Structure 1
């Protein structure tokens, strides 16, 4: 199917528009709401984010990999998806710290803050929004569907959710939330444009165990974002991003053995 550029990217562009609109509404509310109300909004968003993350994390239970019979066992050994997710997070986290992913993303936020005369918690809002809007199965599966067959339904649903979240985030963090549209365009739009190649690797992404393990690992990262929004502690979620590549790679290696 030969799709136009608009057909491949319309879901992403709608997502960008809703985040921009949500940011604008959040900024309009920011100066009008007492601090205690802004705190309640952020706590509500944090709790819902944790719930969404935990729901996603359950996908790891369906993503076990089978290690075929070896000299140590006559029968195939099933490696639980949670174990694969744990290895992915640990190894990915170590790689993330080595590559200084957290610092580089924060540095990008600081650069944008200086470039556009941002103030306050600009960088914190940029990082939190970028992670929240781009981690999850709706981003990956929705972008593949949009780029491959022009189906933007999943991304439009995601766009509505992101727009609502942007209102809450921008009311507390400010305009930095709006600059997350750059990450949405690069990542989500990039996946949509590369959907043809991805389709040969993931013919049925909704039930592919590699996507399920990415969803589960990503869900735990979303939980981390929620914990950060609640100010319970500081989880270096960006440093864990390499796990989204390490976990499915580990799953693939086990399946080969």
Structure 2
């Protein structure tokens, strides 16, 4: 079935959110705070490990790095584009619309729950690679594993932020479903190198989410999302200017 992985993932997000709401009623504020800090630390290390797994290389017993320029240009130019477009503001505006739609006007954490959880579960290697695998090979194994992880993440976030967290099922369905559809049409266009670079930049964004979750909102991660388009841009540049491809590799 086309898009089955995304459907399973979406249902897992909804289930985790509903269960998290049940637990929220019995959690004291200090327990909610430690849960947030603990999940933030976990997200930090997920982002760090994903980034370093691409950057660090070992050749002839020597440790080297790669992708430094790709990361710098992706994060800086992507963040600039996102700031000019005010992507995070638009996401928050959509969160406010959802809050009004579900008649949760008095829920002060609704928008934070929606935005933070959406960014956590949408950005990252498993969302990108899993959706591409589903689209090209109809292999849902990675998205099924991601569904289990997202279930836990959303459960914790729902116990902290409340109902807004469940609405993250909307962007995860649209985001992963779109990648799956594009991959199904594009076929082999998504090379292993491109997938690795997308995962690399996505892991850096995951780290930024971990910073916000642990230390409070410091970074506008929503405005950094265009960074994910930069590996695609460098791929096209590499076809016309081979030197540019080697510069960003």
Q: Which stretches in structure 1 are left out of the alignment for 5+ residues? A: 1-6, 64-78
Aligned length: 232
Compare the two structures and name the one with the higher helix fraction: 2
Q: Which residue of 2 aligns with 1:87?
A: 73
Cα shift readout 1:207-255 (whole Å, capped 9, x = no counterpart): x222222212111111111111113442100100001002331354256
Alignment of 1:42 onto 2:26: no
Cα shift readout 1:33-76 (whole Å, capped 9, x = no counterpart): 1111111111111011011111111244279xxxxxxxxxxxxx
Q: Which stretches in structure 2 are left out of the alignment for 5+ residues? A: 58-64, 242-249
Cα shift readout 1:168-225 (whole Å, capped 9, x = no counterpart): 100111111111111011110111122223323124xxxx222222212111111111
Alignment of 1:113 onto 2:96: no
Under a length normalisation based on structure 1, what TM-score does the superposition of the two structures give?
Answer: 0.85
> Take 1:102 and 1:194, find their aligned partners in 2: how far apart are those partners?
24
**Judging changes above 3 Å, is the alpha-carbon distance between structure 1 residues 111 and 27 closer, same or farther for their aligned structure 2 residues?**
same
> Take 2:53 and 2:87, find their aligned partners in 1: how far apart are those partners?
25
2:17/2:165 contact within 8 Å kept: yes
Q: Which residue of 1 aligns with 2:19?
A: 25
Alignment of 1:133 onto 2:118: no
> Take 1:86 and 1:48, find their aligned partners in 2: how far apart are those partners?
24
Q: Which residue of 2 aligns with 1:196?
A: 184
2:126/2:142 contact within 8 Å kept: yes
Alignment of 1:238 onto 2:222: yes
RMSD: 1.8
**Any runs of at least 4 consecutive aligned residues in structure 1 with deviations exceeding 3 A, and if so which?**
none
1:134/1:187 contact within 8 Å kept: yes
> Take 2:212 and 2:131, find their aligned partners in 1: how far apart are those partners?
27
SS of residue in 2 equivalent to 1:32: coil
Trace 1:95-174 onto structure 2 (pairs within 5 A). 95-118=81-104, 119-174=107-162
